[in-house]
Amino acid sequence: MGRHKKGRCVKRNKQINTEENPDIVKAPHSFVIHRGIPGEHIVELTKNFRKIMEPFTAMSLKERKKNTIKDFVSIASILHVTHMCIFSKTEQGMYFKLCRLPRGPTLTFKIHSFSLSRDVISLIKKQMVYEELFNNSPLVILNNFSGEGMQLKLIASMFQNMFPTINLTTVNLSTIRRCLCLNYNATSKTIDLRHYAIKVIPVGLSKGVKKLVQAKIPNLSKCEDFSDFLTKETVSESEVEDDPLNHVTLPQKLSSRGNYANNKSAIRLSELGPRLTLELIKVEDGLLDGEVLYHEYVFKSEEEKLLIKKKREEKKKLKEKRKKIQEENKKRKELQKQEHKERSLKGIQKKKESEILLQKIAKESVEENNIEDDDAQYYRDEIGEEPDKDLFERKVGNKRLQKFTSKHKLKKQKLSKS
């Protein structure tokens, strides 16, 4: 026999490598979803926030109305998901919830204002958006989170743990192309979230030399000699040298042109969006549930806290009790089902045996009925004389001939007058 040919699907689909990269497995992954009242802005804001969380997020995640939080939590461990970001919209406003999977805590923020990525990019003259920006995670920069209060430390640790850690000794600077900036305003108690692309430009070069270094074609129409182009120092307002505070000495060579090790370069930021202004409302101990550790507007006394804690414990005990009863009922039903199955099998076997027995009895009775009684011999034994010839003879097929009568009346023939 000839070899079996591979199907079209087998040819197209590459063999999946079962062993995952340990660095990717250890990196924090995330789900970004939206709930509540549907709307165009909340859907687009969710997609924009997924761009921030790239590459360790589910970009093509599709949620439906019938999906619950339990559905996402159940598959989170399989996909190594550690955080879940939920945008929700109500009649009062928009909210942002940041959850640590699988057991919490949960931070609830109120969104005071936001701007979508398309609106932010459209205001920039020189846009710097390309796919290579999103191949690596952004650098997280936190400002003014060193104040008093447990909630500030919790916010800082939550946002830091959403992204992979950076090892300063082994990091490749060419991979750091984005940054996520979080600034806390102590007066308004709000957090400003901004997303930037990082661009590194060599410093100390004239406009002409910089263009040559960056492999740009120079315009020599206004120069009499090539030396005029190189020594020309006039630059446009947009290309004025950056502030000295933005200058850094590079410890290693970058992939971009003109940026070499131990040379000075300027760092420029280009905003990618989205913009968010958040205010922390509530901190919960569990996953969207549990003890309220902090609330901005609601204050509880110690007695109220103890009462709430007691009610929660009673609720937990009741839940465990119901679960135990449910498991016992489940075991009992399984046992009853097994017993019923055994009885049914026994009944089926008994029925088969009785059917076989009835068939046997019926067969024997048919055989007995088929044996014809000899009446002539019985007459000889009882009377002692020979019976008459016509006494026990059976006339088979001797039926009286019936006269044929037609159902329809015959018409009388009219005699022609001759």
What are 305-329's pLDDT values in tens digits? 888 888 888 988 999 999 999 999 9
- pTM of the complete model: 0.69
In the chain, the amino acid numbered 309 is: K
DSSP calls for 18-45: SSPPHHHHHS-EEEEEEEES--HHHHHH
Does residue 188 sit in helix, strand or coil?
coil
Highest mean pLDDT among 107-111, 224-228, 345-349: 107-111
Neighbouring-strand partners of residue 181:
141, 194
Arithmetic mean of pLDDT over the chain = 82
Span 401-417, pLDDT tens digits: 566 666 666 666 666 55
Which residues, 6 or more positions from 339, have their beta carbon under 8 angstroms from its beta carbon? none
**Predicted pLDDT at 403:** 62
Average pLDDT of the residues in 101-117: 93
DSSP state of 59: T
Task: Give the architecture-level CATH label for domain 16-203+242-299.
Answer: 3-Layer(aba) Sandwich (3.40)
56-85 burial by CB neighbour count: b if 16+ within 10 A, else e? bbbeeeeeeeeeebeebbeebeeeebbbbb
Measured CA to CA, the distance from residue 307 to residue 325 in angstroms comes to: 27
* Residue 325, number of CB atoms within 10 A of its CB: 10
What is the residue extent of each domain of the chain? Answer: 16-203+242-299, 312-339
How confident is the model at residue 382, as a pLDDT?
A: 77
